Amino acid sequence: MTPATTSAAPGTRDRLVRTASRLMQHGGYESTPVKQLVKEAEATLGSLYHFFPGGKQELAVAAIAFGDQEFAALLARGLDSRTDPAEAVEAVAVLLAEALRDSTWLDGCPVTATALESVGRMPDLQAACAVAFANWRRLVEDKLLANGLSEDDARDLALTVISTLEGAEMAAQVSESQTPLLVAGRHLSRLISAYA
């Protein structure tokens, strides 16, 4: 077996995707050098192009989809932890605040940094980020619909819940404090209660 074939063994693709997701979560797409990515994934440049013929950008789209699923799992865990949708959204904010503190403020939203870089410059990445945000909103929307909110209210509130959590997560990272997320959780809970 040639080294290229070896590095294309099962597991390598997963490691590339997970590593790309983590590095993009921390610094975005542009500041993630392919060399560092391949090294930290214990892969080779050959295996990257084997699995992702389109190179770094194609890998980045897969990494965004991976981050999308990871964040969705955390969202779902918080939402499922309470029956009441207002309490459930507040529980999500608490979960995010804990995860952020435990990662010394590094593990924020997996796609925000890349999303901002992508606007008007990298359509494939921008589209993948838009899909991720839409998936997260749908989870919140379904929770609100299941608790009797109207379709219009559920759609609009889900949009604001995800926007607010994203912004509060960023504020929490920059100030290295859980407060922005915990306060946002209380406010979102109050807002949802006003509609429920």
Kindly list the residues in this chain that would bind a second copy in the complex (CB under 8 A). 26-31, 104-106, 108, 112-113, 115-121, 126, 129-130, 133, 156-157, 159-160, 162-168, 170-171, 173-176, 179-180, 183-184, 186-187, 190-191, 194
Contact 17, 59 (CB under 8 A): yes
Between residues 66 and 133, which has the closer beta carbon with respect to a second copy? 133
Give the helix, strand, coil percentages of the chain, each rounded to 5: 75, 0, 25
DSSP of 3-55: HHHHHTSTTHHHHHHHHHHHHHHHHTTTTS-HHHHHHHTT--HHHHHHH-TTT
Q: How far is the CB of 88 from a second copy (least distance, A)?
A: 17
Between residues 43 and 109, which has the closer beta carbon with respect to a second copy? 109
Q: How far is the CB of 105 from a second copy (least distance, A)?
A: 6
Between residues 13 and 22, which has the closer beta carbon with respect to a second copy? 22
Tell how far CA 31 is from the center of its chain: 18
Q: How far is the CB of 53 from a second copy (least distance, A)?
A: 24
**Gap between the Cα atoms of 79 and 85, Å rounded:** 7
Q: How far is the CB of 173 from a second copy (least distance, A)?
A: 5
Between residues 28 and 67, which has the closer beta carbon with respect to a second copy? 28
Between residues 4 and 194, which has the closer beta carbon with respect to a second copy? 194
**Gap between the Cα atoms of 119 and 11, Å rounded:** 32
Q: How far is the CB of 80 from a second copy (least distance, A)?
A: 23
Contact 196, 86 (CB under 8 A): yes
Q: How far is the CB of 50 from a second copy (least distance, A)?
A: 27
Tell how far CA 74 is from the center of its chain: 10
DSSP of 81-97: T-SSHHHHHHHHHHHHH
Between residues 20 and 157, which has the closer beta carbon with respect to a second copy? 157
